[in-house]
Structure 1
């Protein structure tokens, strides 16, 4: 689903933070974080009918299954929004 980033995540996970070249990324100072605002899309409770095996599979993945379902739906939505002329 979607385009991959090309990032070697396994290699990056093994890399010490001091080894990462951040010279092209400016440090964010205290002023930035003092003025920063977090904008989270509002959630809306809904009633949906899902196939039992689909819902059970998500629940088997553990806590946060509703968040994972929401992320998948958002990715689907964004992919289809980009396809519109």
Structure 2
């Protein structure tokens, strides 16, 4: 798996899209906590999916669905993407 930086254009675009989706989801699920939690989990998975540049899994697998159901994998991708030393060779 190859992971993009959180500073990548793809991730920034996904972040903007997620903000717009959050506004729409907030209107729909304001009085339903379980639905609100589901939407938040889906948005976070969508952000993590935008960080995946390539992977060895079959192309028919939905990255957002996989990351929504596998929070530990999602978190590992987020940690790698946040590590600037890995992406830019910056000493920590």
TM-score bucket (shorter structure): under 0.3
Larger Rg: 1
TM-score (norm 1): 0.28
Relative to total residues, which structure has the larger helix share, 1 or 2? 2
